[in-house]
Amino acid sequence: MSSLPNYEIYAIKYAEHHRMSRDNFLGGDAHDRPMPLDYFVWLIRHDRQAWVLDTGFSPEEAKSRGRDFKRCPAEGLRALGVDPDAVTDVIISHMHYDHCGNNHLFQKAKYHIQEKEMQFATGRCMCHRSMRYPFTLSDILSMVERVHTDRAVFHNDSEDLAPGLSVHHVGGHTAGLQVLRVHTARGWVVLASDASHFYANMENQRPFPIIYNTVEMLEGYKTCYKLASSVDHVIPGHDPLVMAKYPSPRPELEGWIVRLDVPPKSA
Ligand SMILES: [Zn+2]
Ligand SMILES: [Zn+2]
């Protein structure tokens, strides 16, 4: 019997984007078909402690990037009884616009980020348009402000945040991408975020085409599987199948919030 806490995990969907499968795999897809992408933030909690993984983007950002915005991530947190103003710890998987926006929220929280990601998002890699286009300058400036006001917590490689909760650097998609490993009643769940956008990326070893380092990305799939209790314990960052596989905590949350610390419905 493990003495580690069993965390609850929720995926909160806040937006979507209709696209073709050729846009989701390096080198395209011979069997091109509609393959939409969902956008999530995640809530991890135990007793009164709540952790938020990623912060999503705003309606304005959605408009400028042509994404279909559904609701503010804060609405999902409130539906689960969490006040964003009271959250003390936010974990940022990486600093792309869809994971690191809504900077008006979480004003009291410390932000946990890999040191490499901050270097990447503020260094010479950003001189290249193809590297910087998934970043939004105001998000980066907000993170710099946190550094200067004691609200940034830097991590290197693998580090425990609390018993049963740890970050792990995988890189690949961005230089400092980290995944989150969470102990639950069903074992170790890994929230992969953009280490694997879809189940198909990691299952078939076919990278998503926004890449910093291809080999790191391929190794990252292995790392996620290694850290998780089974393949069913790795949760991709953008796959609509997550909504279909996992149960909603309450009927009125059907279609936008699911619980990931319980087994998938299809298991
Ligand atoms: Zn990303
Ligand atoms: Zn993303």
Centroid of ligand 1 to alpha carbon of 194 (angstroms): 5
Please name which ligand lies nearest the alpha carbon of 175: 1
Centroid of ligand 1 to alpha carbon of 136 (angstroms): 12
Give the tens place of pLDDT for each residue, 140-173. Answer: 999 999 999 999 999 999 999 999 999 999 999 9
Centroid of ligand 2 to alpha carbon of 2 (angstroms): 33
Please name which ligand lies nearest the alpha carbon of 210: 1
Please name which ligand lies nearest the alpha carbon of 133: 1
Residues 6+ apart with CB under 8 A from 108: 85, 86, 87, 88
pLDDT value for 2: 73
Tokens 């926006």 found at: 101
Residues of the chain with pLDDT under 70: 1, 266-267
Backbone angles phi, psi at 160, to 5 degrees: -80, 135
Pairwise CA distance, residues 195 & 201, whole Å:
9
**Model confidence pTM above 0.85:** yes
pLDDT value for 1: 57
CATH class of 8-259: alpha beta
Pairwise CA distance, residues 35 & 249, whole Å:
26
Please name which ligand lies nearest the alpha carbon of 178: 1
Pairwise CA distance, residues 204 & 212, whole Å:
19
pLDDT value for 266: 65
